[in-house]
Structure formats: C-alpha cells, structure tokens
A and B are shown apart, each in its own frame.
Chain A
Amino acid sequence: MRATVWRGKHDVRVETVPDPRIIDQGDAIVRVTSTAICGSDLHLYNGFIPTMEKGDILGHEFMGEVVEVAPGVRRLAVGDRVVVPFPIACGACAMCMAELYSLCENSNPNAGLAKKLWGHSPAGLFGYSHLLGGYSGGQAEYVRVPFADVGPVKVPEGLGDEQVLFLSDIFPTGYMGAEMCGIQPGDVIAVWGAGPVGQLAIASARLLGAERIIAIDRFPSRLELARTRAGATDTLNYEETDIEGALEELTAGRGPDACIDAVGSEAHGHGAVYAYDRAKQALMLESDRPIALRQAIRACRSGGTISVVGVYGGFIDKFPMGAVMNRSLTIRSGQTHVQRYLKPLLEHIVNGRIDPSFIVTHRMSLQEAPEAYELFLEKRDGCEKVVLSP
C-alpha cells in the first residue's frame, strides 16, 4: 500500500510499504477514505517529538471502511464505515473505566520509556512516535486499528466524510478544551491559536454557552474564519495588538474567565521573550516554548481556569508559577479522551448544530502529502486544514 512516512526533520515521503495485518484478537483493518494532517503532526515534522524512527507511518486523524476484523471483534463488521479516535484504549483498565481514555494503562507497549520521561505512561497513539507506542498511522491506504471494539464509531448514513472526520481528534479536542473551562453564564473565554483546534474550541465554547469568545492569532484569514464561521465575538492579532492590554480592556479589567491554549509547544510571538525561547529551544535547553501559555496565565482573571489542549512534549522554562499560586488559577489539560465525546458530538453533527467541515481549506490526494505538510507548516494560501484522500 501507499503510506506517508517520516524520514526525518522536514522530510515526509509517500512510499510503498507492506500492508497492515491483524496481529491481536481485537484488531480491525480499515481502508482509509479520508485522513487529515493535524497541527501536532507538524511537531513531528519539525522534529520536536523524540523517538521517531525513519520509516514510521504518520497520521492520527482518519476514517474509512472496515475491511477485515479479528475473531475477538464483536461490535464491528466488514463494510462498516467508521471514524477512529486517535488514542488507543483497551476499554477495561481503571483509566478507561473512568472515561480517561487517553490515559489507557494497557495500550502503550513502550510504557516503560514513557514512564522514564513523564513519570507514568499515557495511552498509545496512532502514528505518534515510539514513546507513544510505535503504532502505524492512518495517512495511508490501510491501517490496523487495535481494540477495535472500544474506539471506532460507526457513521450514520447521509453524512459526508468531512462532516465526521474531525471526530477522530480535533473536534473532541476543541470541545474538551472548552468543557475544561467549566463555562458559566456570562463567561468570557479567550482562545490562543485559531488553527483547526482553536476554531473548534471556539465553536464548542459557543455551544456550551459562553458570553463572549475572543480569538487570538496572527493570520487575518484565520481570525476572519473564527469570527464568521466558528462564532468568535472578538478577534485579536498579536502582531498588531498588545494582547494583555486588549484583554483587560475587553473585560473591563477582570481578565477572561478562562483561557484556552490551542497552540502548544511551538508558539510564535515577538520581542525579547520570543527570541529567548527560540534560542533556548534551538540549543535544546528547553523542549517547548510556552509563549502562549505564559500569556494566558498572566491574562486570566483571578480564580480562573487555564485549559491546555495544545501539545507539549517535555520541559518549559520561565513558567509563571507565582501567578498560578497567588491568584488561585486552575490548570486543566490532557490529550483528548476522544471516545468519551464521540456519541454526544456525533449527535450535534447529526442535528445540524455544528458542521466541523468549515475549517477545511485544502483537499489533496495522499500522494501529495509532502506538499501538503509544507503548505500547512508555512500557512501558505490561507491553509487552515488539509484533508487527504488515498
């Protein structure tokens, strides 16, 4: 089959590789019909996630048709059209039973390695380094889906691929980002990053009843999309505006009730602090540059919540713990427990309350994956989200 493989920093190729096969009794093989490139794939592309090996198949946002199931699979049958969540979860451990699927205790075969880095291991993920399991990803013609009874959700007839594809990751991720804010009537929510996750966090905050939603980015086209399609009430361009001052002004001095970091470890910014973080990251003195996170913490109202859904890999520097402690801030975070959100969010889509496909700007073939990565990285041509068809 053809698959998008990682060959090194800024080197992604489409190659012919062996077809996946059933390995465990809970496996299914899915023929991929649509797959997307995630902002977190760019962390791999930029070489910021350790334990990638040359030849690893990328991709954790995908959907398709079940073409083979192992004998242990009960809920799925050949021919089912499914969307597959990016965290792999066994459904039986304490974390899965508590619906914390991205913390599944059984799905990461390299848990010992992850434990060394993070203290304990989270779940295995599709196409996201050997630290997180070494599972082949879904930017390919076929993919092996372990624990197929637990993750994949069947798609009702009448819905197009693009309407449901983002249930695999970014819609639940944006939703969880908004949900972790504990939105109350009258709440003002500020969202750093108007990429795909930021857009869907804004849309979710609107679904959850936020009074005012402020989108922060540097690309006018993204801010425009946030205002016209996602439901942001205000937009701020950090290259033109002093964000802290503007947020204070917009909230009459209170600060946003909750701040969502939909940026993660490769934030952009300007000025001395940004230069400091770029330099430290380049010298490998810190693995992540938390510019958006620092700003969110300073801007947030006292007693408010910081909701972190942007991906961080290792260590950050100059973390304003004094602000967190003295102002009673709550930090909530996590890789998305996608399985928890599939049913309710699918209902929102079926009922027409939201159509996440508004973020798609580019449709390309799987063969064009290398160009697609470049386009997305450089945000050329107003690129917001690329969907690939094998």
Chain B
Amino acid sequence: MDDLQKRRPDNASLGLGLLGLGLGLGALAAPRALVRALGVDAGARTPWLVRALGAREIVTTAGLFASGRTAPWLWARVGGDLIDITLVAGALRAPSARRGRAWGALGGLLGVTALDVITAVRARRAERPAPPPVKASVTIARRREDVYGFWRNPANAPSFMADVESVEVLDDRRSRWTARGPVGPVVTWESVLEEDRPGERLSWRSSDGSDVDVSGAVTFSDAPGGRGTEVRICARYAPRNDVAARAARFLWKKAGPFRLEADLRRCKQILEAGHVAHSDARADHQPHPARPSTTASFAREGQA
C-alpha cells in the first residue's frame, strides 16, 4: 500500500489538459495568428512572450498526464490563467485593441480559470494523502480457527478495541461501527467485509457514505512448535474532512501503533484468560486512591 494513492486524471482534467496542449502547440507554432485571433495588437516582442506562455501550457499538461497527481498541476494551471488574464486585460487598454474579440477572449479565460479551480479542488480532495498503515502483531495461545472465529464476528470488537463503543451487525458482511475518534468526536461508519479466507485472513473497508475512511486486514498463521496463532493486523484510519484528516494522520502515526497493540493485547487476554484484565487503577472511574484525578496519560492507555 502506497502512502499516496496514484491516480489517473479524471475527465475534467483530461479535457483541460487537451485544451492546454492545443493552445500551447498553437502558441508555439503560430504566435502571431493566435494574438490576432484574440483581438490584441502584436508588438515586436509579443511572439516570444506568447511562445513562452505556450511552452508553459505544454509543461503543465505533461505534468497533469504523467506525474500521477493532478492537483498540483491544476493549481499551476490556475496560476497560468491568472497571468493570461492580466496580460489580456492589459492589452485591452491599448488603442489598437479590437474590443469585441478581446472581451470575448477574456470571458473565455475566466471560464477556463473557473473550471481549473473547480477541478483542482476536486482533485485535491480525491488525492489527499492516505494515512500510513499501522501494524501490530501478537501471538495467542489458541488454535487458528478459534482466533479467526473471534475476529469473524464484529460484535466482539468493542470488548477489546478501546476506541470502539458499539458495533451493530447488519448482515453477514456489513456492520455499523461507532467509535470515539482520536481527535474526540464520535464517528460512525459502515464496514464491509472484503476478503474472508476462513482461518487465514480477513479484510474490511468502510463504505462510501461513511464519516471516516477505515480499512484493514488481519492475518492468522500457526506459530511454530504449537505456540498458538500469530495474529498480524494492518489498519488505516482517516476522517474525510481535510483538516481533521491531517490531524488524524498525525495522531494515528504517533499513537496508532501503541493503541493497536494494546487492542491486540486485550484480544489475547480474552481468548487466553477469558476476560480483559483490569487493575484497580483501571477499573475505578470515580476518584479512588489508585486512580486519582491527576492520573497521567499512561493510565488511560487501555480503558476497555
């Protein structure tokens, strides 16, 4: 799984790119004709300026098609549009300008700029960096089928996942999850089981209408020498909102491994010892000598 999801340009970017390519090639090949068509006067240096602008168009188009990320190149196009608008608007004031055509050209430029902005914003949303996957593993002294069976039922999750408050099983593959996000507010998502290889692997992904993007996979394998089952989990978590996503990405990177590992440890406690182990400091939510109100963060690691 790559940190950045590579993406083909969508239709809008494609169209804008082709338009840019056409204009760029036109500007390189016949700068004077282009300038006349725009209704502005061509000075002595104008053809070279227009050629430079054309080259710029070709560069941004190439970036758009080849780099795998469209958003930065679309924003570059917006920058180019602003330069063009400034130049055409400046040329409008020249006495020799043919106003009708020039106004038309300016209108067209503004339209393309608007299209560029809309497409860039959309592309950025689609291409925001995915949160890094977080991994954790544990060995559980139980048979592989038992451990798989426990994980196959999402209703078991709140018993060992500290952040998950409830899970409602919708059908054999879908379930509705409610959790306290790492940044505070309660989030819900619908999880869809993607892969189910009994006794070996489970993977899941949140459906499109969810507050957050959650995905993950857990694999089960025999530990050597009858030591039980090796459980390895890899998970991603990100809100859809841009700002929250950035905060979540940071927190997930910092605290994710620690929290995921604590979840696995509680899963082990349930499967081996029958229940999560609570100390007095963990269990008492009212003020208690072993859990005073000043309780430091480590005591909060795993209130299950």
Contact = CB atoms under 8 A, between A and B. Distances in A.
Interface in A76-98: 88, 90-94, 97
Nearest to A93: B272
Contact of A109 (B282, B292, B296): B282
A92 B279 contact: no
B236 interface: no
Contacts of A144: 280
Nearest to B138: A105
Interface stretch (A129-137, A174-182, A190-198, A339-347): A129-137
B289 interface: yes
Interface stretch (B32-40, B72-80, B111-119, B262-270): B262-270
A130 B281 contact: yes
Nearest to B290: A136
B289 A5 contact: yes
Interface in B16-66: none
A90 B277 contact: yes
B228 interface: yes
A24 interface: yes
Nearest to A18: B288
Contacts of A56: 281, 289-290
A88 to B, nearest CB: 8
Contacts of A18: 284, 288-289
Contact of B298 (A55, A93, A110): A110
B289 A112 contact: no
Contacts of B139: 94
A88 B279 CA distance: 10
Please classify the interface of chain A as helix (H, G, I), strand (E, B), loop, or mixed, using the class held by over half of its residues. loop
B280 A25 contact: no
B288 A23 contact: no
A146 B283 CA distance: 12
A25 B274 contact: yes
A54 B294 CA distance: 9
B274 A26 contact: yes
Given A94-B227, A94-B228, A134 B280 contact: yes
A135 B273 contact: no
A28 interface: no
Interface in A44-95: 51, 53-57, 72, 88, 90-94
Interface string A93-137: 110010000000111111111000000000010000010011110
A110 B281 CA distance: 10
B272 A20 contact: no
Given A135-B280, A135-B281, A105 B292 contact: no
A3 interface: yes
B295 A53 contact: yes
**Taking each of B139, B265, B275, which has the highest tally of chain A beta carbons within 10 Å of its own beta carbon?**
B275
**Taking each of B262, B272, B276, B277, which has the highest tally of chain A beta carbons within 10 Å of its own beta carbon?**
B277
Given A53-B295, A55-B290, A56-B290, A109 B273 contact: no
A147 B273 contact: yes
Contacts of B282: 109, 134
B290 A134 contact: yes
A92 B272 contact: yes
Contacts of A15: 289
B229 to A, nearest CB: 12
A112 B262 contact: yes
Nearest to B292: A55
B194 interface: no
Interface of B: 139, 141, 227-228, 258, 261-262, 265, 268-269, 272-284, 288-292, 294-296, 298-299, 301-302
Given A93-B141, A113-B301, 16 more contacts: A17-B289, A51-B298, A53-B281, A53-B299, A55-B288, A57-B280, A57-B290, A106-B265, A109-B281, A109-B301, A109-B302, A111-B262, A134-B282, A136-B281, A136-B289, A147-B277
10 contacts: A15-B289, A53-B290, A54-B294, A57-B290, A88-B277, A107-B277, A108-B277, A109-B276, A112-B258, A135-B290
